[in-house]
Every structure is written in C-alpha cells, then in structure tokens.
C-alpha cells in the first residue's frame, strides 16, 4: 500500500495537493455554513479563497505547494487526513492544539485515539461505511460530537467529513472545530436569559403587587380626607379646606397612576391566549363603548376594511381604544376631530411578511417627531397636566400590548397637522 | 368580635351583616349606610368564622337572619370564598342575599364569586362619596326592587 505522506520534508504530490485543496474547501465550507454567525469566520473565508486560488493555479512548483501547505497549516480550523486503516496522515497545527498534541505528533497515530471511549470500538466500522457511502457531510447530524484529548479530556467538537482518492489510497478529510468556547458562551447566555426572564417576571409581579397593595392605604387616606371635609367643616378654616382639597386632588392622581400601573402590569400577568381576532369587530366594539365620548367631541371616525389578526381580544380592544381616545384628546381647537383607521401595505420594521399594518391617523395637534419614541415611555407626558389630563400610561400600554403580540407600533407626528400610529400585527388570513 | 349598631328604632328591621377584617373599612361602610339613612341594625364581624358563628347563633336563638350580607374576600382564616360557599350550600342560609364587596377587580374573583352563588359582586370604590353611592344602590336593589326572601327563622 502506497500512502502519500504529506509533510514539509516530502512535499511532492501535486495531484493529491489539488484534490486535498478542493476537499478541504468543501469541509471548511460546511463548517463555515454552520458557524458563520457565531464563529470568527473571516480567517476561514480567507483560507477557502486561498485554497480555491491555489487549486486553479494548477499547482506545478514546489513553491506553490509550500504556499498551499502554509495555508492549511495556518487554518483556524483543525484539519486531519485519515487513511483507510484509520492512521492519521496529516494534522495541521490547529488540530494538534485541539487534541493537545505537539505539532506533527498526531501523524502516524490512529484516529481512534481521538474518539471517546464509549464509541471507540465501533468507530472503525463507522469509518468504513463512510468510505463506502462517499458523501461529504457534517458529522453527528444534530447530535453533540465529542473528541478525546491526549489528556483523556472529552471536548465538544463540530466535525465536517469529506473524502478523496479511491480504494486503498482513499483518504478521509476531517475538518474539526473546537466548540468548547461556543458551548460555554451558550451556557452563559442561557443562564443569563433564565435570570433575565426571572427578573422580568419578578418585576411584573412587583408592579402588580405594589400597585394593588398601595391602593389600599391610599383609599383610606381619601376616605379620611372626605370625613375631615364633611364632619369638621365647621372647625376647619378656608385655608385648611384648600389644603384638604389639594390633598384630595393629589391622592386621586396617585390613585390614577397606580391604576394605570396595575393595568400595565396586567398586560403580562393577566394575559389571555391568542386567538383569531377580526379587527373590524374589535373596532365596532370599541366605537360602541366610546360612542358617548365620540359624539361629545363631534368627532368623525372612519374605519376601513381591516385584517384578521392573531391576538388577545381584550388587549387589542384596549390598544385601539387607547389610540382613539388619544386622538380625541389631542384634537386641535376649532378643528373637528377626524380619526381614520385603515389597513396599509407598509412593510414591518423587521420586514416580516406575516405582519400586516394598520394605521390610526388623526388631524389633531400632532407632536414634534423628535419625541416619537419618548411618547411610548411609562408615565411620559409631552404636555402639562393642567392642559391635558391623564397619567402618561396610555401609549406605554399600547406599546406593551403590541410587543406582547410580537408586533410593532411606530408614531409619526407633525405639529398642528396630526399624528399617525402605525401598528404591525400577525395577520391570520388574507382580507 | 361582634359589633352592632342596633338601637331602639331599628328593632324589628332585618339586620345587615358586614363581614370584613379591616376595621377601618367596616367603619366607612357603616358610615355610608347611615348617610343613606338606612335604619336596619348593622352588625359586623371580622372574619369568615365569625360570620358563620353569627348565622349559627341566629339559627339557635330563632332570631332573624341578615336581610343582606356584605362579604369581603381577602380575609385570614376562613376566607370570603369559603364563607360564601358554606353559606350558599346551607339549606336555609343560602336565601340570604350576599354581596361580595372587595377591593379585588380580578376577573377570576368575579367568576368564582358568581359560581359559588354570590348575588352580586362590587369592587370597593375609591373615596367615601363613591362608597355612599354604591351602598345607596345596594340598598335600593335589595330593599326595594328585589322581593326580599323570607329570612325569618320560624
């Protein structure tokens, strides 16, 4: 059996080199496809390009062979060439480092030395069936692949396999990536995600408990203020009565804030499962609920044909109610309020094609577009309380509802012209 | 602990029982009844156990059952829900109109209360004025509009 050794002293096999280059290119391409997003892929790209160029140059001279050899040696992926007997014929420095061998000390050893003990015995059989099958592929197909270092330590690996040559001269080319760092990073991310989810849950529960429990003593303060106002009317002078009035006002404002906070936290703590929701029926309900406010404002509300979306009926109702109330509230003086709710073809900020766009536009006082993100913040108000009432939670609740639906809400304002709120929600079927 | 505001004038009128562990709330509720010129004797107990004892005692002494009961939900020991369930499963007591009167606005509390047989579910309003209004509504319904069930224990 003739085995072409591939090392620095005897670099004299141009045809094999060429095949090797092509094979390694495909191994690396497999690896690259898998890890392009997480792995430092730039060196791999360079290596593949270099191998491709070397292959096209019809390597003839020792000079070019040495260049190719250097490319393989410099590869950030481990590369092993294994013959039909399982003997390692070439190992680049990265492969040696992964398995904790000194450079070139892997050559001549059995590839089975690198296989975990539990599968070592049946590995020769796997190897020969791969040679029969002759199909380049990733090893493991989704399962975790492990290797054993010289010190007996098992490490997680990503492995791509390809082959070259025929019969007894065939070689299996093994691309190896050490994914220990990746696994560790994944574990850290998983741990942090778990912690984050717990923090969010705790915060939601805290907001719920706080807003619920804080209302109790506040309710009593309010009652005592009223008792003072009624039973002690004769003994409290006018200044005292003014103070009691202010106290009552402040307490009621705080009650409003706690109520909004409670509603806000309920979006996640009291969420209902999603169902098919025809937005036109939602809008019909909302307009009926708001009929008094709409006729008081003499507003004109137009609703176009709207899609059926996937969502929480009650929350979507609240979403549109908040937006329409907002439009009515921030109307321009001496201009009749006109609110238009219609479907649009605008693509979502993330280009997700399953999201459909619904716009709520009005001809109200609008806002400076500089604030188009700020207005969604909790308790954020653009106007003084003396001018417009409210707790500054309406739009924050809207955003939270839309985010729970994995959609988007974007505001666009023009001072003294009006505002447009574009909402993207998961569409269920064509209109 | 049983508290009563019964006086000479109210003798003969069906009593109203307030079940609430919060003495301040009991105070506010009684005040709201008085503002509405309700002269029925107002009894109050601070727990579910005491409410059930109150009804047992009425039974033994052949006294009138309450013509109306305001029941708080969140109480230590035998809570509002269990008290409600025991009353509504009792052959005689079930006729007593029970208004669940609580700070809760949670849908599940509303659903459970009605499922256990509550006659009404009302969230405690914010401020005394609101409370007076709510009590006025309760009284109007239970003492005028609805035909009072026979609650005497002959």
Residue A133: give its domain's CATH number: 3.30.450.20
Question: Would you say residue B109 has pLDDT above 50?
Answer: yes
Q: What is the pLDDT of residue A50?
A: 53
Q: How far apart are CA A124 and CA A118, in angstroms?
A: 13
Q: Where in the sequence is the domain holding A192, given as residue range(s)?
A: 179-270
On whether both A251 and A194 belong to a single domain, the answer is yes
- Six-digit token string for A325: 């109330």
Tokens of A374: 């700020």
Residues A427 and A278 grouped into a single domain: yes
Is there a contact between A265 and A271 (Cβ–Cβ < 8 Å)? Answer: no
Q: A81-94 in b/e burial notation, b at 16+ Cβ within 10 A? A: bbbbebebbbbbbb
Q: Is residue A4 part of a domain?
A: no
Q: Which two tokens stand for residue B91?
A: 């052959």
pLDDT band with cut points at 50, 70 and 90 for residue B56: very high
Asked if A364 and A303 count as a contact pair (C-beta separation under 8 A), the reply is: no
Write the CATH number for A184: 1.10.287.130
If asked whether residues A61 and A190 sit together in one domain, one would say no
Q: Which residues of A touch B103 (CB under 8 A)?
A: 212, 215-216, 219
Q: Is residue A2 part of a domain?
A: no
Token pair 């929350």 is found at A315
Q: CB-CB: which of A216, A223, A270 is closest to B127?
A: A223
- Residue-wise pLDDT for A276-294, tens only, equals 999 999 999 999 999 999 9
CB contacts, 8 Å: B107 with chain A? 270
Query: Do A193 and A172 share a domain, yes or no?
Result: no
- Same domain, yes or no, for A385 and A362? yes
Among B124, B24, B74, which Cα is nearest to B83's? B74
Measured CA to CA, the distance from residue A8 to residue A93 in angstroms comes to 13
In whole angstroms, how far apart are CA A229 and each of A223, A239, A244, A256, B33? 10, 12, 7, 21, 18
CB B14 within 8 A of CB B39: no
- Per DSSP, the three-state class of A222 is helix
Higher pLDDT, A209 or B113: B113
DSSP state of A165: S
Domain boundary among A109, A142, A177: A177
pLDDT in the model for residue A308:
95
Sheet strands side by side (includes B68-71): B3-4, B42-45, B16-19, B68-71, B98-102, B120-123
Q: Which residues of B touch A222 (CB under 8 A)?
A: 126-128
Sign, CA torsion A344/A349/A355/A359 = negative
Residues A404 and A319 in one domain: yes
Q: What is the pLDDT of residue A47?
A: 53
In a domain, A1, yes or no: no
What is the C-alpha separation between A272 and A291, in angstroms, rounded? Answer: 26
Nearest CA in chain B to A253: B126
Question: For each of chain A's 431 residues, which pLDDT tens digit applies?
Answer: 333 444 444 434 444 555 555 555 555 554 544 444 344 444 454 455 555 555 554 444 566 667 777 888 888 899 998 988 899 988 999 999 999 998 878 999 999 999 999 889 988 888 888 888 777 777 766 678 899 999 999 999 999 888 877 777 888 888 999 999 999 999 999 999 999 999 888 887 887 777 778 888 899 999 999 999 999 999 999 999 999 999 999 998 888 888 888 888 888 877 888 999 999 999 999 999 999 999 988 999 999 999 999 999 999 999 999 999 999 999 998 899 999 999 999 989 998 989 999 999 999 999 999 999 999 988 888 887 777 877 888 899 999 999 999 999 999 999 999 999 999 999 986 54
Does some domain include residue A399?
A: yes
Any domain includes A114: yes
The verdict on A405 and A328 lying in the same domain is yes
A226 touches B at CB < 8 Å: yes
**What is the per-residue DSSP string for B9-53?**
GGTTSPPEEEE-S-HHHHHHHHHHHHHTT--SPEEEESSHHHHHH
Residues of B near A (Cβ–Cβ under 8 Å) read 24-25, 28, 31, 103, 106-107, 124, 126-129, 131
| A148 shares its domain with A213 | no
What is the reported pLDDT for B114? 95
Q: What is the pLDDT of residue A38?
A: 41
Domain count, chain A: 3
Residues A90 and A193 in one domain: no
Same domain, A256 and A362: no
Query: What domains can be seen in chain B, in order of their start residue?
Result: 3-145 (3.40.50.2300)
CATH number for the domain including A345?
3.30.565.10
Q: Is residue A266 part of a domain?
A: yes
pLDDT of residue A380: 80
Same domain flag for A334 and A283: yes
* Nearest beta carbon to residue B24 from set A220, A230, A255: A220
Alpha carbon distance A345, A357 (integer Å) = 6
Query: Does the residue A237 lie in any domain?
Result: yes
pLDDT-based confidence at B77, cuts 50/70/90? confident
Q: Is residue A3 part of a domain?
A: no
Q: A148, A177, A206: which is the final residue of a domain? A: A177
- A417: tokens are 């012209």
Quick one: A423 and A366 in the same domain? yes
Is the separation of the CB atoms in A411 and A372 below 8 Å? yes
Residue B129 has pLDDT above 90, yes or no: no
- Give the residue from A244, A270, A296 where a domain finishes: A270
What are A173's two structure tokens?
């080319």
């Amino acid at each position: 059996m003739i085995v072409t050794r591939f090392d620095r002293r005897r670099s004299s096999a141009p045809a094999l080199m060429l095949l090797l280059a092509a094979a390694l290119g495909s191994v690396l391409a497999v690896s690259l496809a898998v890890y392009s997003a997480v792995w430092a892929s730039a060196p791999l790209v360079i290596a593949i390009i270099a191998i491709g160029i070397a292959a096209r140059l019809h390597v003839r001279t020792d000079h070019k062979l040495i260049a190719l050899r250097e490319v393989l040696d410099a590869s950030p992926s481990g590369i092993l060439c294994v013959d039909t007997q399982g003997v390692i014929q070439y190992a680049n420095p990265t492969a040696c480092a992964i398995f904790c061998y000194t450079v070139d000390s892997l050559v001549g050893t059995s590839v089975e030395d690198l296989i975990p003990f539990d599968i070592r015995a049946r590995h020769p059989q796997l190897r020969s069936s791969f040679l029969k099958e002759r199909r380049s592929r990733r090893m493991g197909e989704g399962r975790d692949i492990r290797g054993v270092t010289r010190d007996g330590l098992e490490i997680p690996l990503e492995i791509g396999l390809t082959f070259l040559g025929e019969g007894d001269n065939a070689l299996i080319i093994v691309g190896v990536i050490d994914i220990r760092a990746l696994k560790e990073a994944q574990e850290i991310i998983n741990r942090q995600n778990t912690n984050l989810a717990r923090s969010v849950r705790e915060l939601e529960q805290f907001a719920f408990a706080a807003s619920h429990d804080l209302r109790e003593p506040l309710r009593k303060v309010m009652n005592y203020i009223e008792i003072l106002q009624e039973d002690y009317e004769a003994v409290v002078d006018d200044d005292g009565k003014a103070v009691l009035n202010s106290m009552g006002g402040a307490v009621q404002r705080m009650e409003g804030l706690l109520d909004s906070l409670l509603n806000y936290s309920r979006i996640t703590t009291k969420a209902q499962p999603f169902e098919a929701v025809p937005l036109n029926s939602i809008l019909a309900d909302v307009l009926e609920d708001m009929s008094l406010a709409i006729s008081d404002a003499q507003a004109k509300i137009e609703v176009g044909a709207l899609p059926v979306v996937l969502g929480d009926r009650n929350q979507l109702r609240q979403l549109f109610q908040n937006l329409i109330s907002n439009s009515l509230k921030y109307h321009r003086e001496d201009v009749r309020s006109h609110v238009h709710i219609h479907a649009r073809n605008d693509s979502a900020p993330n280009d997700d094609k399953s999201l459909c766009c619904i716009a709520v536009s009005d001809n109200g006082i609008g806002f400076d577009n500089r604030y188009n993100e700020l207005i969604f913040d909790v308790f954020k108000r653009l106007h003084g309380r003396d001018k417009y009432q409210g707790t500054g939670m309406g739009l924050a609740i809207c955003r939270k509802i839309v985010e729970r639906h994995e959609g988007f809400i974007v505001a666009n304002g023009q001072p003294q012209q009006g505002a447009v709120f574009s909402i993207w929600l998961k569409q269920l079927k064509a209109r | 602990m049983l508290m009563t505001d019964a006086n000479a004038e109210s003798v003969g009128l069906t009593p109203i029982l307030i079940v609430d562990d919060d003495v301040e709330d009991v105070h506010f509720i009684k005040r709201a009844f008085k503002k509405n010129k309700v002269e029925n004797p107002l009894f109050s107990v601070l727990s579910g156990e005491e409410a059930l004892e109150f009804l047992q005692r009425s039974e033994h002494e052949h006294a009138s059952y309450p013509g109306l009961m305001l029941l708080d939900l969140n109480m230590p020991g035998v809570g509002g829900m269990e008290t409600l369930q025991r009353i509504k499963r009792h052959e005689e007591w079930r006729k007593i109109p029970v208004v669940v009167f609580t700070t809760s606005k949670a849908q599940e509390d509303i659903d459970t209360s009605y499922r256990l047989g509550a006659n009404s579910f009302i969230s405690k309003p914010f401020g005394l004025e609101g409370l007076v209004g709510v009590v006025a509504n309760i009284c109007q319904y239970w003492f005028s509009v609805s035909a009072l069930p026979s609650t005497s224990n002959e």
